[in-house]
């Protein structure tokens, strides 16, 4: 049995794609190890995947909330989060190295975890990239200035990886592109959403989204009764972005008041601290962790933070959305949805107010039928792609080599 290891850092949305990939690999006869923050052990092991804890035992959602709270700039928030994660990766290289030993293939996530360790151990790699901006346009004719700017940016991005390379006596790289697999880079995005860049080399492949329907899920009695007792509700689901370092009553008030003003029922995910001493109107309910595959099918539209996983799920399960991106990569996913006319114009998190949320709801209401039709058509096409099955097929080709 071939042994595969993969590693990833970040919030649940950063872990979930690798859980789907791991499960499909296991179904195809591979021995898979998934390494991440210790806090994700239960989530990973619940899917019968072998888990290895990497780095300190932290609450990554709480850490992300603290970092987000220090800046209203999406770019600055993303840089701070990246620096935080890179530090963990650098300090965990010996743990990663030990897990890599004896493996036949390392699947390197978007943070490049495991790439250097695999190189030291002469183990082949396959990459996964979630953000198209991270893929080099190697086939594009280069002007002097473009080349110079690319080199400057490349050196900056390469710095944290060179610190790891130094541990093993490897020569420094000039760009992170040098440690990306030359065999295969998987992009788990649908070709119906993202047009393949003609300047990408052939080993960068759009597979389609990775997901799994949780068909056996049953909601608790309270949620089931709420869903059955009226019109489809709005869903507020800001992911890790709704994790509060402390109570955020003013922020929740904005959404609750806007929902009441619009006359819509609503389901609220997150805001656990705030909701402890908060009386929701009878037209609203709070719910905890409920699979997107269930919840999205029972809601009218969703207001979300535009993380990779949530953005993909809106398309897979056919629900229009109001994006509220908080960091730079979320801005990119929000624009993808807006450009495909399945979402309203993104709401800037720093400009959130009761009125801006209400106006976004009115915008959604006036264009809902068109957006719903578009997202249903895309959902049907995405499901035909079989993204995670295609990813495993491509991985098997690399393993056979």
Question: Mind listing the pLDDT tens digit for each residue in 87-115?
Answer: 888 889 999 999 999 999 999 998 888 99
Shared-domain flag, residues 308 and 393: no
In sequence order, the β-bridge partners of residue 5 are 33, 106
Q: Does 59 or 131 have the greater pLDDT score?
A: 131
Range of the domain at 180: 3-208+386-400
Q: What is the pLDDT of residue 65?
A: 65
In a 13 Å sphere around the CA of 257, the CA atoms on its Cβ side amount to: 12
Lowest mean pLDDT among 149-153, 249-253, 269-273: 149-153
Contact 174, 154 (CB under 8 A): yes
Shared-domain flag, residues 307 and 199: no
pLDDT at 247 over 70: no
Shared-domain flag, residues 354 and 392: no
Shared-domain flag, residues 228 and 250: yes
Q: What is the pLDDT of residue 342?
A: 97
Q: What is the pLDDT of residue 34?
A: 98
- pLDDT tens readout for residues 234-246: 999 986 555 555 6
Tokens of 388: 């995670």
Band of the pLDDT at 131, cuts 50, 70, 90? confident
Shared-domain flag, residues 11 and 122: yes
Contact 337, 314 (CB under 8 A): yes
Band of the pLDDT at 225, cuts 50, 70, 90? very high
CA 258 to centroid of chain Cα atoms: 27
In a domain? residue 113? yes
Phi first, then psi, for residue 241 (nearest 5°) are -70, -15
Shared-domain flag, residues 355 and 260: yes
The mean pLDDT value for 351-367 works out to: 95
Shared-domain flag, residues 198 and 247: no
Contact 131, 157 (CB under 8 A): no
The residue among 26, 20, 17, 292 whose CA lies nearest residue 129 is 17
Q: What angle do CA 397, 185, 52 make, to 5 degrees?
A: 85
Q: What is the pLDDT of residue 351?
A: 82
Shared-domain flag, residues 275 and 204: no
Q: How far apart are CA 343 and CA 347, in angstroms?
A: 11
Q: Which residues contact 126 (CB under 8 A, 6 or more apart)?
A: 105, 106, 107, 108, 181, 183, 184, 185, 186, 394, 395, 398
In a domain? residue 350? yes
Write the burial class of residue 4 (CB in 10 Å: 0-12 exposed, 13-18 middle, 19+ buried).
buried
CATH label of the domain that carries residue 290? 3.40.50.2000
- pLDDT tens readout for residues 139-185: 788 777 766 666 666 666 778 888 999 999 999 988 877 888 999 99
pLDDT at 360 over 90: yes
Query: Is the CA virtual torsion 106, 112, 115, 117 positive or negative?
Result: negative
In a domain? residue 216? no
Q: Return the percentage of the chain with pLDDT > 70, whole number.
A: 90
In a domain? residue 214? no
The mean pLDDT value for 192-221 works out to: 90
Contact 23, 49 (CB under 8 A): yes
C-alpha distances in angstroms, 298 versus 52, 219, 275?
Answer: 35, 11, 22
The mean pLDDT value for 65-77 works out to: 61
C-alpha distances in angstroms, 366 versus 344, 359, 391?
Answer: 11, 11, 39
Indicate the number of domains in the chain: 2
Strands (E) across 246-299 are located at 266-269, 284-287
Shared-domain flag, residues 292 and 147: no
In a domain? residue 10? yes
Q: What is the pLDDT of residue 203?
A: 95
Lowest mean pLDDT among 65-74, 107-116, 256-265, 363-372: 65-74
Band of the pLDDT at 320, cuts 50, 70, 90? very high
Shared-domain flag, residues 342 and 357: yes
Band of the pLDDT at 49, cuts 50, 70, 90? very high
Contact 353, 333 (CB under 8 A): no
Q: Does 326 or 67 have the greater pLDDT score?
A: 326
In a domain? residue 83? yes
Strands (E) across 188-330 are located at 204-206, 234-237, 266-269, 284-287, 302-304, 321-323
Q: What is the pLDDT of residue 99?
A: 96
pLDDT at 18 over 90: yes
C-alpha distances in angstroms, 326 versus 71, 117, 307?
Answer: 10, 32, 9
The residue among 108, 90, 85, 69 whose CA lies nearest residue 37 is 85
Q: What is the pLDDT of residue 216?
A: 77
Q: Which residues contact 106 (CB under 8 A, 6 or more apart)?
A: 4, 5, 6, 100, 114, 115, 117, 118, 123, 124, 125, 126
Shared-domain flag, residues 185 and 256: no
Shared-domain flag, residues 80 and 11: yes
pLDDT at 329 over 90: no
- pLDDT tens readout for residues 185-203: 999 999 999 999 999 999 9
Band of the pLDDT at 276, cuts 50, 70, 90? confident
Q: What is the pLDDT of residue 288?
A: 81
pLDDT at 361 over 90: yes
Band of the pLDDT at 75, cuts 50, 70, 90? low
The mean pLDDT value for 347-375 works out to: 94
């Amino acid at each position: 049995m071939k042994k595969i290891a993969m590693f990833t850092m970040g919030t649940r949305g950063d872990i979930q794609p690798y859980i789907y990939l791991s499960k499909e690999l296991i179904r195809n006869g591979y021995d898979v190890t998934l390494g991440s923050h210790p806090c994700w052990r239960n989530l990973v092991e619940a899917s019968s995947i072998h888990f290895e804890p990497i780095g300190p035992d932290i609450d990554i959602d709480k850490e992300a909330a603290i970092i987000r709270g220090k800046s209203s700039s999406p770019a600055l928030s993303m840089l701070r989060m990246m620096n935080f994660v890179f530090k963990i990766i650098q300090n965990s290289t010996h743990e990663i190295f030990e897990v890599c030993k004896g493996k036949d293939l390392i699947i390197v996530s978007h943070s490049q975890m495991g790439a250097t360790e695999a190189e030291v151990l002469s183990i082949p790699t396959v990459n996964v990239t979630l953000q198209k901006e991270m893929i080099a346009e190697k086939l594009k004719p280069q002007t002097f200035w473009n080349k110079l700017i690319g080199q400057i940016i490349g050196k900056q991005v390469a710095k944290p990886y060179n610190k790891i390379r130094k541990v093993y006596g490897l020569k420094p790289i000039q760009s992170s592109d040098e440690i990306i697999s030359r065999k295969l880079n998987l992009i788990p995005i649908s070709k119906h959403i993202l047009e393949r860049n003609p300047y990408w080399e052939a080993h960068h492949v759009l597979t389609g989204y990775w997901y799994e329907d949780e068909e056996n899920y049953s909601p608790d009695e309270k949620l089931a009764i709420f869903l059955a007792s009226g019109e489809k509700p709005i869903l507020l689901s800001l992911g890790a972005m709704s994790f509060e370092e402390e109570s955020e009553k003013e922020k929740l008030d904005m959404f609750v008041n806007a929902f009441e003003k619009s006359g819509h029922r609503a389901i609220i995910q997150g805001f656990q601290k705030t909701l402890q001493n908060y009386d929701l109107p009878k037209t609203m309910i709070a719910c905890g962790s409920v699979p997107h595959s269930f919840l999205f099918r029972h809601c009218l539209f969703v207001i979300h933070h535009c993380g990779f996983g949530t953005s993909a799920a809106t398309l897979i399960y056919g629900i229009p959305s109001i994006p509220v991106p908080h960091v730079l990569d979320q801005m990119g996913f929000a624009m993808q949805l807006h450009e495909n006319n399945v979402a309203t114009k993104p709401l800037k998190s720093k400009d959130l107010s009761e009125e801006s949320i209400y106006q976004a709801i009115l915008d959604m209401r006036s264009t809902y039928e068109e957006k719903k039709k578009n997202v249903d058509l895309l959902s049907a096409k995405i499901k035909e792609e079989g993204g995670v099955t295609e990813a495993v097929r491509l991985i098997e080709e690399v393993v056979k080599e």
